[in-house]
């Protein structure tokens, strides 16, 4: 039998627009100050008691790397809160979140934050949103909006009342005795083992139930509420952590009950334990370890070009990761994962470098720096105009098109996009006279070691000495 259930509310918006600080004010917690860099880097679900009833809030990251997580957050929600900092206005992730909301047709209201700041300008933000097709109550439309200051605790009670009213209007219901419907919002590995975090939308999940998510079956061995307390069941609108999966399902997968676990246990594509291709020349090989599937997904989706992931996994670094990285000549990068002292010692012994990060854009920046430092900059470019023999060697008659080419330079020789090889200039002559350097527009003859099979039209790239 359908009954009114607690609304599931997803909080969306641009990075540093005050989403987590707003939730802190609502929950009277202090999550924002505990987060690395002050940004939310995974989806978190929490239940809040209000005068009108309970509300389940789902916080989502605002950083650009976490777009997939924001999109899933919208799909789970009954109501979306689009948070806009009144001193900053509409930004890229604001527009992205709005597009997800419209695509999913999720009922939403707009919350203007940071109204205590002297630079607050709500009217400007209203106009910017109206240009994006959001039309507000009292301004010719039907989208509610509210102004709050989380810092001063202003407007918080009014916001909760508005959410409850909005939920009543939209008639949010579920059946505790109905078919189980849940959604995986995050996965993680900790000392208890593999944990799947979800929100139940319909039915009741009990300890001991056989369930399936994303093609992977499991028997529920433990359930934990949003306060990490063990519980026997989770009903409509309850956030819950599930213990019992031997393989992590994909984030965003539905959670359903099954009659009997298939002993052959189906597997689907997931990041846990994936092994990727080997790195090529001038690429850097890395092993990525992250605290959760959502975080791992965000990292893998933001990597600079020429970073090749040879293995990606959820959880702490283990001995196998060290030996795997050593064999592949790879570095290990961790995101939001602690590295134990024994693992550090093993890595030092085996000569494997580990770098750890708590903020995603610092990890990505570091990888970009390593790529840039490894790449040899192109100092000059020439085209082979003629090929002729000289004392059992091939001479390349070239014209410099860009930069300069010098005696002793290492050069890369290309036929179209195909690399013929890398060689060193051991002789450089201009009109039979030995020279040390030639510049744009000049022609000269070059002899390389080793001898390569180049031809007219090939390109010479100077990488310097």
Q: Is the pLDDT of residue 459 over 90?
A: yes
> What pLDDT was estimated at residue 264?
34
Domain boundary among 200, 227, 257: 257
Name the DSSP letter for residue 315.
S
List the domain range (segments joined by +) for residue 35.
3-174
List, as own/partner pairs, every contact residues 19-22 make where C-beta atoms lie below 8 angstroms and the sequence separation is at least 24, other chains included.
19/59, 19/60, 19/62, 19/83, 20/59, 21/113, 21/150, 21/151, 22/83, 22/111, 22/113, 22/148, 22/150
Q: Residue 276's pLDDT is what?
A: 52
pLDDT score, position 103? 82
Same domain, 151 and 19: yes
- pLDDT tens by residue, 150-173: 888 888 889 998 998 888 888 888
What percent of the chain shows pLDDT beyond 70? 87
Residues 161 and 17 in one domain: yes
pLDDT value at residue 184: 85
Whether residue 452 is predicted with pLDDT greater than 70 in this model: the reply is yes
Task: Summarize pLDDT for 201-252 with one digit per residue, the tens.
Answer: 899 999 889 999 887 888 898 888 877 788 899 999 898 889 888 778 877 7
In 3D space, the residue among 226, 217, 223, 184 whose CA is nearest the CA of residue 204 turns out to be: 223
- Tell me whether residue 352 is in a domain: yes
| Cβ within 8 Å of residue 356, ≥6 positions away | 333, 334, 335, 337, 338, 339
Both tokens assigned to 164: 């409850």
Whole-number Cα distances in Å, 170 to 79, 107, 164, 166, 368: 9, 8, 10, 6, 47
Q: Which residues contact 389 (CB under 8 A, 6 or more apart)?
A: 395
Together in a domain, 210 and 355:
no
Q: Per-residue pLDDT for 42 more than 50?
A: no
Q: Tell me, what's the pLDDT at 456?
A: 92
Alpha-carbon distance of 403 to 125, in angstroms, equals 49
Q: In whole angstroms, what is the distance from residue 145 CA to residue 132 CA?
A: 15
* Contacts with 28 (C-beta within 8 Å, 6 or more apart), sequence order: none
For the CA atoms of 362, 363, 364, 367, what is the dihedral angle to 10 degrees?
120
Identify the weakest region by mean pLDDT among 55-69, 82-96, 113-127, 344-358: 55-69
For β-strands 331-335 and 193-202, DSSP reports them as unpaired
C-alpha 461/C-alpha 294 separation (Å) is 41
Q: What CATH number should be reported for the domain holding residue 158? A: 3.40.50.300
Give pLDDT, residue 87: 87
Mapped onto helix, strand or coil, the DSSP state of residue 233 is strand
- Mean pLDDT for 269-295 is 67
* Predicted TM-score (pTM) of this structure: 0.55
One domain for residues 69 and 202: no
Instruction: Report the CATH number at residue 395.
Output: 2.40.30.10
Confidence of residue 263 (pLDDT cuts 50, 70, 90): very low
Average pLDDT over residues 292-316: 82
Say whether both 91 and 224 belong to one domain.
no
Which helix H or strand E contains 303, and what residues bound it? none
397 and 369 belong to one structural domain: no
Regarding whether 156 and 35 lie in a shared domain, the answer is: yes
Report the number of distinct structural domains present in the chain: 4
Q: Which of 226, 257, 288 is the last residue of a domain?
A: 257
Over the chain, what is the mean pLDDT?
82
């Amino acid at each position: 039998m359908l009954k009114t259930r607690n609304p599931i509310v997803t909080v969306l918006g641009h990075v540093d627009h005050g989403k987590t600080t707003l939730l802190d004010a609502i929950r009277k917690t202090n999550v924002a100050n505990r987060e690395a860099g002050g940004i939310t880097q995974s989806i978190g679900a929490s239940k809040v008691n209000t005068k009108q009833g309970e509300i389940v809030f789902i916080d989502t990251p605002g950083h650009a790397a976490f777009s997939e997580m924001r999109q899933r957050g919208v799909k789970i929600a009954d109501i979306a809160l689009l948070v806009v900092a009144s001193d900053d206005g509409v930004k890229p992730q604001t527009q992205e979140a709005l597009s997800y909301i419209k695509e999913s047709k999720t009922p939403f209201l707009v919350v203007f934050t940071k109204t205590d700041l002297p630079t607050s300008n709500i009217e400007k933000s209203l106009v910017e949103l109206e240009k994006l097709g959001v039309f507000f109550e009292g301004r010719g439309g039907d989208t509610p909006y509210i102004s709050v200051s989380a810092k001063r605790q202003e407007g918080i009670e009014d916001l909760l009342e508005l959410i409850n009213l909005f939920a009543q209007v939209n008639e949010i219901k579920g059946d505790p005795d109905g078919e189980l419907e849940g959604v995986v919002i995050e996965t993680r590995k900790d000392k208890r083992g593999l944990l799947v975090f979800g929100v139940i939308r319909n039915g009741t999940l009990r300890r001991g139930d056989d369930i399936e998510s994303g093609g992977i079956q499991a028997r529920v061995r433990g359930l934990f509420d949003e306060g990490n307390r063990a519980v026997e069941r989770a009903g409509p609108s309850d956030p819950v952590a599930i213990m019992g999966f031997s393989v992590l399902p994909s984030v965003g997968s539905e959670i359903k009950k099954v009659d009997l676990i298939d002993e052959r246990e189906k597997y689907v594509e997931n990041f846990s334990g994936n092994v990727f291709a080997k790195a090529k020349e001038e690429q850097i090989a890395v092993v990525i370890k992250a605290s959760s599937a959502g975080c791992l997904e965000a990292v893998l989706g933001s990597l600079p070009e020429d970073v090749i992931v040879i293995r990606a996994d959820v959880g702490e670094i283990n001995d196998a990761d060290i030996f795997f990285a050593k064999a592949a000549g790879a570095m290990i990068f961790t995101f939001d994962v602690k590295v134990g002292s024994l693992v550090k010692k093993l890595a030092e012994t085996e000569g494997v470098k580990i770098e750890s990060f708590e903020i995603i854009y610092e990890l990505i920046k570091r990888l970009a720096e390593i790529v840039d430092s490894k790449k040899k900059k192109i100092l000059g470019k020439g085209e082979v105009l003629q090929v002729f023999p000289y004392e059992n060697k091939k001479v390349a008659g070239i014209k410099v098109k860009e930069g300069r080419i010098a005696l002793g330079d290492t050069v890369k020789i290309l036929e179209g996009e195909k690399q013929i090889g890398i060689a060193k200039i051991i002789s450089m002559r201009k009109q039979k006279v030995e020279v040390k350097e030639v510049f744009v527009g000049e022609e000269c003859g070059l002899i390389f070691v080793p001898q390569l099979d180049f031809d007219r039209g090939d390109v010479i790239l100077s990488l310097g000495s």
